[in-house]
Amino acid sequence: MQPIGVFDSGVGGLSVLQSLRAELPREDIVYLADSAHAPYGERAEAFVVQRALAVTGRLRTEHRIKALVVACNTATAAAIHALRAAYPGLPIVGVEPALKPATRTSRTRRIGVMATRRTLESTKFQILLDSLACEADFVLQPCDGLAHAVETDDEAQTIALCQQHTGAMGRFGSAPGEIDTVVLGCTHYPFARTHLQRMLGPQVQLIDTGEAVARQTRVLLEDKGKLAPEGAEPGVVTLLATGDAGRLRDAAARWLTEPCQPAAPAGAAQSPAPLPCSLQ
């Protein structure tokens, strides 16, 4: 059975993988962390496009993926159009900051958006923001360093950066003029959710995009007649990394509710061997 391909610059896309597993439990999934080149959010746009095309090409060639999920806001903003042009027959789902859902839930109409600087500066994000300008007042916060802190499991730095970035956004709460909804506009940030919720208080709602991405992936596979059959066995998740494979394996063990199948070197049986670096 052909797998779904998922990639991110590192471990952040595991938050999307979790939602995909919940929505599509019978699908095989190959997750690739391009960690040798992370974080994308602090890279030039041309570099992100080049990496997205290289990663997708390898997933298509080596793993024959039937669909692609770009589990990275920065890569979606920079490269989704290039990917669709390069692979017109491949169903591709990207992620974007969940501004639309936030406008439906916010009561104060003041919404915070935490994202990488590259995402916030992208044309794709600006078009989305302009389309909702009349719906709410958006407070944009580039969260320099936060994705890297989550990626490296530096809890002290993650907490410090959460405090720094939320402190720069203004007042949070349910009163008029206060931010009552925060969009987590990077797939790494849901792994800092516990710290953020504690800082902002229970009255502030945090929104990410994992569930919506998983539902859209199902819709595209149904339209193409490529869903795994109802009676199929539970799917297998294979993890690949271009950088520190042990970090990806440890992050999956820490954050995912189900175990994943590590990838073995070519020609070897599946085993607990270290994850291979499948891209250079």
Q: Which residues are tagged catalytic?
A: 72, 186
Closest CA to 21 of 271, 262, 270, 256: 256
| DSSP-based three-state secondary structure for 139 | strand
Strands in 237-241's sheet, in edge-to-edge order, are 92-93, 67-70, 4-8, 29-33, 237-241, 261-262
Integer Cα distance of 11 and 275 in angstroms: 14
For the record, the structure tokens of 262 come out as: 């590590």
Closest CA to 177 of 131, 120, 240, 109: 109
Looking up tokens 């709410």 gives 136
Cis peptide before 39 (omega within 30 of 0): yes
